[in-house]
Amino acid sequence: MFKKTTLASTIFMALFSQAIYAADDNAAADVTAQQTQKADEQMETIEVVGIRSSLNKAVNIKRQSVQVVDAIVAEDIGKFPDNNVVEALQRVTGVQVTDRASGEVSGVSIRGLTDVTTTVNGREMFTAAGRTLAVQDIPAALLESVEVFKTRDASQLASGIAGQLNVRTQRPFNFEGSKFMMNARGVYQDLADKTDPIVSALASNRWNTSIGEVGALLNLSYARTQYRNENASAGAIVPFRSDNLARMYNYPMGLEHGVDRTPGATLDGVEYYLGRDALNQSDSTGKRERPAVNLSLQWAPNDTSEYVFETFYNGYRNKGYNHMILTYADSNRVATDVQPTFFEGTNVIKTRAWGNSGAFTSGDYGEQQTDSYMFALGGKWDLNADTTLKSEIVYQTSEYKREGVAMQANTRMPYVYADFNHDNGVMAWTPYVEEYGEKLDLTDPSRWTTSTMFDNGGKDKGDGITFTTDLDFYVDWGIFTKAKTGIRYDKRTAESSSRDSNLFNAIPLVDLDPSMLGTNSDFFDGRSDLPRSWVAMSGKALWDNRAEYRDLWGFTSDEEQLRRITMQKNFEIDQTSWAAYIQSEFDTELFGKRLDGSVGVRYTYASADMDFWHWDGEVGEVLHSSDTNTSAKFLPNLTLRYHLTEDWLARFAYTETLRRPNFGDLNSFISLHPDTTNVGYGNANGGNSSLRPVESKNYDFSLEYYFGSGSSVYGTYFYRDIQGFVFSSLRRTQFPNPNTGEIEDYILSQPDNTSNGVLKGYEIGAVYFLENVPQWLDGFGIQASGTFLDSDQDIPVFSDTGELERYDHRGVFGVSDTSYSGVLIYEKEDFSARLSYVWRDNFLLRYGSGRFAHPRGVYRQPEESLDFQLNYNITDNLSVSFDATNLTNQVFNQYYEKEYLNDTASIYSRTFGLGIRYSM
């Protein structure tokens, strides 16, 4: 499929592709610099559009860049075949995605690391009191392209040891004249059985006026998703006496591989079995909305200056309801003729029966809202033929609010039979009225009595103002051809407040208005022998009547309870940071071949003034403390590009990057949660105001071959030496009980820069469209990539006295050793289709609490997804599309080190979308 354009447009796109790699803190004005180029003559050319065109542009961005960078480019204006930015990135080499909950992919990592800095048009953005942007909140409909920088030069932000995502939105000078687009899709979620709209519109124009050339663009987007997530968890692993199956509490905790799992193992001379302490099911539904607006104004009063004003808004609204049930599995009342069975060669219980155990259901409801605004004003001035000055001021503010209520209801389970790992990590269990009697009706409200009501909330807010100035100038200093220098000033504020309260009251459910109750159905889509429905409080009804139930439960009865349901400030942080850089590009010959690149250094400094507040129940008042956290670092970089032939390129890069600690981790107060279940210890957690930035030294070497029309094959080897990972270590210590004042044992979780790691590996990729083939093969293409990683992280283990005892060595959290993607593309005339498959190996998700007898490492099983997109152009201006995601419909599993030690099994929706798009 083709369209006509002018030579000027072709020159513009070529120059845009060549210059795009230079995105920096002040990249807002860079994209439109090519508008001042004038063609001496007009001639008709042919430009391919569609999937092939977008891949050609992405390949050209990679080829023209000195850095190691990949990109995705919209097939046409406002036309990404994905629901959000993260989904669009999953086909990029070295990018791994996960967390397909709530009807979308939300987690993104680059080469296994999740610390990704996100910029929009070169500007660092954040969400609320965090340091990073919730990338999934950016609708794909607003994108022009996304660049994935795997190396950095001195002119770019230093943060993000994994890499940097630069999201580019459309601007009016990107188009030759006026542009209008409307896109509407209906997306069906199969688990929720709901269909939702995703709509967007773009209007842009530019005019020659008496004050110069003026352009204006408005881009709007709205997406709604009604989702359902279903999770089944077999609970923690604890020891039971082998003679009577009574639970044991005198076992060592925090062991890397857990306690001994061989048959006949003993604790204090007593033989034990290992079993689960609970069975838990969660049925979560909700509605999420994401509005977004982008306004861009450009003004070029003459050929030597240009100004841009942009504002960007993205919002998030979520109303979520969780309907859950939990039954305890640690009762020692056992049917005499139903003996436990074990996983082969272990003392780990696979199936057992028990009776008279406690259980509860819970109906939870919560609302969350985020509003983020960015305003930017910048300019670019050609001071002379060799010197360009750029400057910009950016203000942004972001606020996140959450409110939620929950109500539990208790009962006793007369008799339960369970298989803790019935089918590929999914448990199965059945409650009975009595041994071998009828199944217990979990939907009967007469069996349940209310217990604890929870009433929680929070608010996080962040503001920032950033000023940048950059000077680019051509030089003739031997091999050096161009230099640039600049400064960046940034002022950030972050504050967080919360409330957390709960009280107990026992009322039979049958005594409540029936409208206050809810019953779910068809849990886990019939994929395992699990209870498929149960009664619980309706979280939404509780929310609508929360004033009445606050009074009934006693939240408003005295000063202490009123304090607990009133928002209390947790921290307030003011951070001032400065950065300055100098960088030069060079161009020379080595062994008769062209060698170019860049060398530079960036200095970055940050100082944070911090105030913390904490309610101390022992003294009965809010305590306040303050502290300062300061860091400074020189970050050098060197990037080389060697032109082996016209089509073969080799690159080498040495860069240094860092990640400053999250604001919430700096809160030095320790929160105490006393022992309420008689396990012998409470839980404590707090932050660390002395946390340092995580630092990474990075080495990259790539070899690339470009051939045909937009086809390429490439491979990259990389090495990351990372110092000072922030890890929340566990140790046993003592604190006074906040209610009684008595000294008690606690397991304290507190972050520190106590872990180092190494990440190395290589990635390969290819883009190829068949050429000079029979007609029936014409139009086929492939896009394929693979990433192969090797990682090691040392994890500190402390003794009960708080002394460092040893280091455990594991893979870096979140890193899959192997991942790959493959995309089969067909494009012919007015028809295009894409079938994409992504897969990633199992990976270490997190380190468990160490409170139980199971291994501490929690892993994810391999994950995969098969997606499909189809598009047909009815006319030059009108097209229809169909897309489907998560077609493999797999069960997502977590487990403790060994797959038979299953943790949580989850299923997420497949989606099917039908859309129509009009542009002119």
Give the Å distances, CA to CA, from 222 to 310, 423, 760.
19, 40, 40
- Total length of the chain: 920
**Looking at the domain assignment, is residue 57 inside a domain?**
yes
Give the residue ranges of the chain where pLDDT is below 50: 1-49
DSSP 811: P
187 within some domain: no
Distance CA 316, CA 907 (A): 24
Asked, for residue 853, whether it belongs to a domain, the answer is yes
The whole-angstrom separation of Cα 329 and Cα 59 is 56
CA distances from 486 to 13, 385, 581, 583 (A): 27, 19, 6, 9
Do 41 and 13 reside in the same domain of the chain?
yes
Number of C-alpha atoms within 13 angstroms, CB side, residue 301? 7
> How far, in Å, CA of 173 to CA of 463, rounded?
30
| Same domain for 758 and 634 | yes
Type and span of the H or E element at 822: strand 818-828
606, 633 contact by CB (below 8 A): no
- State the residue for tokens 């309420």: 676
Q: Which amino acid type is present at position 861?
A: Q
User: What's the pLDDT at 12?
Assistant: 31
- Give the pLDDT score at 426: 95
Are 170 and 308 part of one and the same domain?
Answer: no
In this prediction, residue 147 carries a pLDDT of 87
In a domain, 212, yes or no: no
How far apart, in Å, are the Cα atoms of 709 and each of 19, 644, 770? 20, 20, 10
246, 164: one domain: no
**DSSP element (H, E) containing 585:** strand 568-590
Identify whether residues 261 and 161 lie together within a single domain.
no
Q: Is 213 inside a domain boundary?
A: no
Residue-level pLDDT at 333: 72
pLDDT at 588: 96
Check whether residue 172 and residue 239 sit in a common domain.
Answer: no
Q: What is the 3-state secondary structure (H, E, C) of 856-911?
A: CEEEECCEEEEEEEEEEECCCCEEEEEEEECCCCCCEEEEECCCCCEEEEEECCCE
238 lies in the same domain as 172: no
Residue 45, phi then psi, degrees to nearest 5? -125, 170
Query: Do 483 and 586 reside in the same domain of the chain?
Result: yes
**What's the CA gap between 269 and 248, in Å, rounded?**
12
Q: Which of 169, 204, 239 is the last residue of a domain?
A: 204
Together in a domain, 585 and 713 = yes
DSSP E strands: which ranges in 173-304? 179-189, 194-209, 212-233, 237-241, 266-267, 270-276, 278-302
Distance CA 60, CA 71 (A): 9
At 857, which CATH number? Answer: 2.40.170.20
Residue 835 lies in a domain: yes
CATH (domain of 35): 2.170.130.10
* Count of other CB atoms within 10 angstroms of residue 11: 15
Alpha-helical segments (H) within 539-623 = 539-544, 546-553, 559-564
Do 231 and 172 lie in a common domain? no
* 8 A C-beta contact, residue 571 and residue 688: no
Q: How many domains does the chain have?
A: 2
- Give pLDDT tens digits for 121-175: 999 989 998 888 877 777 777 778 888 888 889 999 999 888 888 888 889 999 9
Of 469, 310, 465, the closest CA to residue 392 belongs to: 469
Residue 349 lies in a domain: no
How is residue 582 written in tokens?
């100098």
Tell me, what DSSP letter sits at residue 92? S
Question: Is 257 in the same domain as 155?
Answer: no
Q: pTM (2 decimals)?
A: 0.86
Is residue 154 assigned to a domain? yes
User: The domain containing residue 643 runs over which residues?
Assistant: 222-344+360-919
Give 549-558's long-range contacts (Cβ < 8 A, gap of 24+): 549/405, 549/407, 549/453, 550/455, 552/505, 553/453, 553/503, 553/504, 553/505, 554/503, 554/505, 555/453, 555/455, 555/501, 555/503
Q: Are residues 199 and 240 in the same domain?
A: no
